[in-house]
Structure formats: C-alpha cells, structure tokens
Chains A and B, each alone.
Chain A
Amino acid sequence: MIATWYAVVSLMLVLYVVLDGRNFGAGMLQRFVARTPDERRQVIASIGPLWSWHEVWLVGFGGTLVAVFPRLVASAFAGYYLALMLILWGLILRGISIEVRGHINDPLWQGFWDFIFAFANFLLAVLFGAAAGNLVRGVPLDSAGNFSMAFFTDFMTRGYVGLLDWYTVSVAVFTVAVLAAHGASYLTLKTEGPVHDRCAQWAKRLWMAVVPLFVAISLESWKVRPSLAEDAVGRPLCWIGLLLIIAAAYALFSGLTKGLEGRAVVGSNLLLIGLLVTGSAAFFPVMLYSTLAPQNSLTAYSLASGSKSLLLASFWWPVGFVLAAIYFVFISRRYVGKVSVARDNQGYY
C-alpha cells in the first residue's frame, strides 16, 4: 500500500515536470528564439492556454503528499522554508506575467513582462534542480526528523549542508539545460516560420549539451551517495528507467536530425520520465536522506498516514486521475497542431 502511494506521488511529480517543464523551457528561451512582438506572442500562445492546467499537477502533487505523507510535508516544507517561499514567489511572478502581458499592446509593457517571465522560469528551474539535488544528497535531518538549513554552508555534501553545494549547483545547471531543451523541442512542434527554425536549432544545441552534463551528474551522484547506485542496480524499475532514457535519446536525435518534431517531443518527454523513474525507484523507501546519520533518514513507511486514510485515498484518487485524463484528452485534441496568432486571436495569450 505504502509503496503504491510512493509510486502515485512519484507519478504526479513526473507528470508535473514533463508538462510544466515545457513552460519553464519556453519561458527561458523566449528571448532567444523570438525577436519581433509577433514571434514572442507565438511562443506565449504555444503555452498560454494550458499553463495553469500544467501547474495544477504541482498543486495535486502537494495536496496528495499532505494526505498520504503528512510528515514528509511537515519536515521538508518547514526545513526548506526560505527556498520554498522563493519557489512560491517565482510561481506567482511566472503566472502573473504570462497572464497580464497581453492585456496592453505596448512593446515596453510586453518586454517587461517577458523579462519577468523568463527570469521567474529560470529561477524556478534552478530551485527545482537544486531541490532534486538535495533529495539525492540528503538534508541535515536530526533524530526528531526535523531540519533547517542555510542557502549554502561550505559547499560540501556531508554534515551540515546548505541548499546549494557543488553537487546541487551542478544538478541545477543540468536541470536548466534539460528543461530548456525540453521546452525547445515542444516549441518546435507548436511554432512555424523563423521561431520554429530557431527552436529546432536550440533544441539540437541544448540536447548536445545535456549529454556530457548527464554523464557528469551520474558520476557525481555516485560519488555523493554511493548507496543509491548500489540499490539501483538490483531494481528492475531502474533498468526500465535506463531503457527509457536510451529510447528517448534515440527518438530525440533521430527526431531532431530528420525534422520529425512529434518524435522529438516524445523523446524529450520520455527522457524526463526515464530520469525521474530511475531516480524515484532507486530512492525507495527513503524519502528524505540524512547527511548527519543514516538512521535519521525518513522512509515512506515512517512518513505515511494511517492505513484508513490511505485506504480512503485509494478510492477517490483513481477516479480523480481518470477524470483528469479525460479532460487532458479533450483539451489536447482541441489544441493540437501549430498555434496561429491570426486564427486564435481571442483572449490575451
């Protein structure tokens, strides 16, 4: 039961990263792939109508965590207090900038909000990347299951660590690169003309840059938490994740070189899925790893709600998920194809 719930919250996180990752990437790249006001609008229109739908996966992930792993939320959210507040502010800035930019048709106004949009997306990619790094490296959990930490301490990965150290910073860099590449692949599918061509070029460059970063991150993770790699070897799901990553790499490179945009997007999605599946399968059952003493680590078993609460959740959650899938099919069928600013000229995206 608890393992299933661990898988469920991982699934929600995966969906969030895959879906909202497009917005992060598109937001960070907008300035580079679009030059004229019309081109910028094309980028915004590619993600505009669906961004809040994507962000709901984060809210759903958070709510489900509170329901099934309340002690994880209590330890981690309070422990990451200031970093999490920065994430919240980043999400506010990101949401509001995409919503208000189109209300006033003025280059200064739109340029300002485009800048805020890019900045907020970049900040979020860095913070989410650092957070992922923190999950691998661990946090200074005490024996009561609490921690609080500085933004950075001595940049080392043992003992009283900070949010940022050499390892988490490199994961953040990797995350920025992956999400930018992910966004570029998606924009290639949704845009036309010069924006499309620039996105295709950016996608190629960024995915090329991801390869050495991926190798480096894998080696670093092995060094930072050797037990993780040892656990991973014995777990079939980790191997499936690895296969997904390989399949994704093939789909990406063949898609990008042959100009098959759909295939590249599938590859890009698969790559994120593969990375996160491998990671969460290797972590289980540890959810928060202690850098002070291994016995302080918090596992899914020690963090979960009571069995009746879990049972109740297993009645309604699948229903909610199926409904969400139905909406998803409905709206994605409506928005399939290239965005056209001329045709969809209603509303403000």
Chain B
Amino acid sequence: MNSNLSDPALWSRIQFGFTLTYHYLFPQLTMGLAWFLVYWKWRALRTGDEKYNQAARFWAKIFGLNFAVGVVTGIPMEFQFGTNWAAFTRYAGGVIGQTLAMESMFAFFLESAFIGALIWGEKRLGPRYHFLAAVGVALGSWLSGFFILVTNAFMQHPAGYQVQSDGSLGIVSASAFLLNPWAWVQYLHNQMAALVTGSFVVAGIGAFYTLRKLHPAQARLYLQAGTLTALVASVLVAFPAGDQQAKMVGRYQPVTLAGMEGRFQGGGDAGVAVIGQPNVAAHRLDNPIEVPGALSFLAYGTFQSFVHGLDEYPVEDWPDNLELLYYSFHLMITLGTIFILLMGYAAFQRWRGRLETSTWLLWVLMLALPFPYIANTVGWMTTELGRQPWLVYGLFRTRDGYSKVVSGGDTIFTLIGFVGLYFVLGVLFLLLAGRQIGQGPEGTLVADPPAEPVPGAAQLAPVNGKESLV
C-alpha cells in the first residue's frame, strides 16, 4: 500500500471503515433493545399491566428512529462490495454473497415486515399480534447479525471453501461454512456486546428520569431491567465469549494476538499490558506495566505457555497498523472491565434497596450511556485491523481487493459525501431522539389514572376494549 494521497485502496478502506463504523452505531442498539420490547410486550400480555405497554411504546419509538437510520446507512454497505471492492467480490463473492443474500431473505424481510406493525400497528393488530410483531423484529435483527458474522468469520478464518479453476472461491461444504467455529464465538461476543449497549441505554435513560424526578414508575422499570441485563451481558461478553474469542485469535491468527498485545518477542510467561505504548520502530512496548503470565494463561491455558511475538513473522504479514490495533484492543478490555464493576455495584445497591436514591450512581449510569458504543466500535476495530493485511485471512490481501476502475479521487469525493450526509443523519437522530426522551413515555399514558381530572382526558376513548390515546 503506497502513501500517495490518491491511493484507491487506502481511500476505499477508509470509506468502508467509516460507513461501517457509523452504520453499526445503530444496529447494536436495535439488537440490544429488541428483547426489551419483547419482554415488555410479553409482560403486558401476561399481567395486563399497562405500564409495560407504555414502556414498550416509548422504546418502540426510539427503536423505530434508530432502525430507520440503521436501514438507510446499511444499504450502502452491501453495494460497496461491488463499487469499491470489485476484485474482492470477483474473488470471494460466490461464498460471502451467500450469507449477504441469506441476510436479506431470512432476516431483513422478517424484520422490515414487522417493524411497521410494531411501531405503527398496535391498534390494527391487537395485543397478541403486536407481541408477535416484537418477536419477529427481534428475531430478524438477531438473524441479520448472525449472517453478517458468518460473512466476517469467513474473512477471518475461511472454512468450507475451495479455490476454483478460475482462481476464485466457491463453496464445497455449506455446513463447514455456516458452522465455522469463529462465527459462533464471535456471534455470542457481538450479540452480548449489543445487549450491553441496549441495556446501558435503557438504564441510562432510567437514571436520567430518576435524577430529574420524572415518570417515576417508568424510570424504575428502565433502571431495574437495564442494570440487571447490563450486568449479565457485561459478564457474558467477557466470559465465555471474549475469552473464547481471544483463544481463537491465538490459535488461528497468532500474529494478530501478538499485535493486539504489542508483543514483539515471543516467549513463555507472557503478560497482559495494563499500560504501555507500542513503539513499532524500536520493536518494543514503551513503559509497560504488565500482569505477568496473564496472556499465556488466557490464550493458551497455563502461565508458562509460549506466546508468539511479531518478530517471528515477516513484516508483510503483520497487521498494518499496530498502534491502532493495540489501543483499540486495550480500550475495549478496559471498558469491558469497568462495565462489569459498575453494573455489579448497581446490582449491589439494588439489593440494598438504594438503586434509585444513590445520586452519584445514577449520575454515573446516565453518563455511561455512550461508552458501550465506544467499546463496540473499538472491539470491531480490533477484529478488522487484526485481520489485516488480509481481506480473506491467509488467502487474499486487502491491497488486491479494491476496484481497479475506481480512482482514489472518486473515492475521496464519495467519502466526503457520506461524511456530510451522515453528519446530517446524526444531527437528526440526536435531535429527534432527544425530543422523544424529553417528551417521555407519559405522552401515551393510560396506566395510572390521574388523581384529578386533566384537561383533554376526554380524548381517551376505548379502542379494542382497551384504553388508548386517540
């Protein structure tokens, strides 16, 4: 890869990285929030308690807005395989196209068929079908994640393929391709991470309402469901999912593991750096403070296990941006640890009955809201930077994958277009989600009868035997 500003491979990487990173800010909340909606619709169905419907209605609106940005930013992802990565599509399209197409056929149709029903059709559908719509959307969004992770797993650890006579890849074993162990471990890791985002957002908004002394019944619901789910998901994302994922990187991409830890020299008793900066020019980690033996133990099971170092591999096979890979990985680990501690403490406070009165904890929960997004982003940066310099690990290099007929300048131009358009989308999302949160869940209140007559209460009229706002 040259350093020329018009290098098409570089700009295609930046464009894909930008559009994908931005896009994934939205599906992670969709996937995380989906099961909250299912849970609340189910509770509403079972108990008839209107507060659950109210919660579902409020979060369905946030969900819908989030979903819309996810849809419009997702479509360019699929098309960029052809526009910017034509050589890669020609090489691997017969394999990765399978899961891209399956995602549309099995996940998107399900999800988009029921999203309208979920957000728009509560009255037309009735409670039972409306619950089913929530299930359909949740299943669809999680299936979508599955197919994307199978696609990514193939690029990380190719399985079930053969090189055909024309040099391109074809499938020989559908089961090996779909049951790629990398996919399943990564799927668990990723879905739990999405659940972390969803539950932190729910808990964060609950904390905000509690601090503002607004919507107390709803705030309690969000706070309790959010912190409990966040604790479970934060633990699962690390153990077993993250742990297994790291072991798999150690087994199949040892040079990546060395890059993630900034290890230039191989050896036993390898530590995990808590602090340290990779100094690539000098082939060492500057001012390292390490937990001795931890990396040997985590990756290979004993404190003495040999962990490979970068110097054992030719430089052309090293991940091509070691510093960014190292910082991404360490930031992810650090945030993940903080999440477990924070939510563990929240669970402890809840057990003591102080979850809603501990002001500083509520502040931390509210301000923690953006951090799972950062953790998810740097996690994916670790995965994707770690895969470099390969597009399909060990088979096909990134610098061979871009579209030869598209110039670097064209790509810079379209990248700027995406940045501008996505900036507008971001502003719109924050504005409208902020308004939604500001209006609160009580705009659709029917649960708690007002203590005294409120003007406009006459607007409440029975629909389908239940009260709801006309």
Contact = CB atoms under 8 A, between A and B. Distances in A.
A79 interface: yes
Given A306-B170, A331-B113, A77 B83 contact: yes
Contacts of A67: 93-94, 97-98, 100-101
B94 A92 contact: no
**DSSP majority for the B interface?**
helix
Nearest to A51: B116
A309 B116 contact: no
A330 B421 CA distance: 35
7 contacts: A77-B89, A79-B405, A81-B83, A320-B109, A327-B110, A328-B113, A347-B64
B171 A331 contact: no
Q: Which of B95, B104, B117, B414 has the most CB of A within 10 A?
A: B104
Nearest to A331: B113
B405 A317 contact: no
Contacts of A347: 61, 64, 119-120
B121 interface: yes
Q: Which of B92, B129, B406 has the most CB of A within 10 A?
A: B406
Given A49-B121, A78-B406, A305 B113 contact: no
Nearest to B463: A343
A312 B361 CA distance: 53
Contacts of B410: 81-82
A349 B116 CA distance: 10
Nearest to B414: A85
Contacts of A70: 89-90, 92-94, 97, 168
B116 A66 contact: no
A66 B81 contact: yes
Interface string B80-108: 01111011011011111110111111101
Nearest to A53: B112
A222 interface: no
Contacts, number: 249
B417 interface: yes
Contact of A74 (B93, B105, B174): B93
B122 interface: yes
Contact of B75 (A55, A77, A315, A316): A55
Contact of B164 (A50, A75, A306): A306
Interface stretch (A94-102, A194-202, A213-221, A268-276): A94-102
Interface in A299-349: 305-309, 312-313, 315-317, 319-321, 323-324, 327-328, 330-331, 334-335, 342-349
Interface in A56-70: 56, 58-60, 62-68, 70
Nearest to B120: A347
Q: Which of B171, B413, B421 has the most CB of A within 10 A?
A: B171
A319 B122 CA distance: 29
A147 interface: yes
**DSSP majority for the A interface?**
helix
B82 A73 contact: yes
Given A70-B90, A104-B435, A305-B94, A96 B428 contact: yes
Nearest to A50: B116
Contacts of A77: 79, 81-83, 86, 89
B215 interface: no
B87 A74 contact: yes
Contacts of B404: 78, 146
Interface residues of A, number: 74
Contact of A53 (B68, B113, B164): B113
A340 to B, nearest CB: 10
B217 interface: no
A312 B121 contact: no
Kindly list the 8 A-B residue pairs having the minimum CB-CB distance in the complex, ordered from nearest: A70-B93, A77-B82, A320-B105, A49-B116, A67-B97, A306-B170, A66-B97, A305-B94
A78 B68 contact: no
Contacts of A80: 83
A29 B425 CA distance: 25
B391 to A, nearest CB: 14
A249 interface: no
B105 A52 contact: no
A237 interface: no
Contacts of A92: 72-73, 75-76, 421, 425
B69 interface: yes
B43 to A, nearest CB: 20
Contacts of A232: none
Contact of A66 (B101, B129, B414, B417): B101
B125 interface: yes
B82 A52 contact: no
A75 B428 contact: no
A331 B109 CA distance: 11
Interface in B111-142: 112-117, 119-125, 129, 136
A76 interface: yes
Nearest to B119: A347
Q: Which of B89, B108, B113, B168 has the most CB of A within 10 A?
A: B113
Interface string B399-422: 000011110001001100100010
Contacts of B341: none
B65 interface: yes
Contacts of B71: 52, 55, 95
Nearest to B422: A92
B62 to A, nearest CB: 12
A88 interface: yes
Contacts of B312: none
Contacts of A344: 120-121, 123-124
B364 interface: no
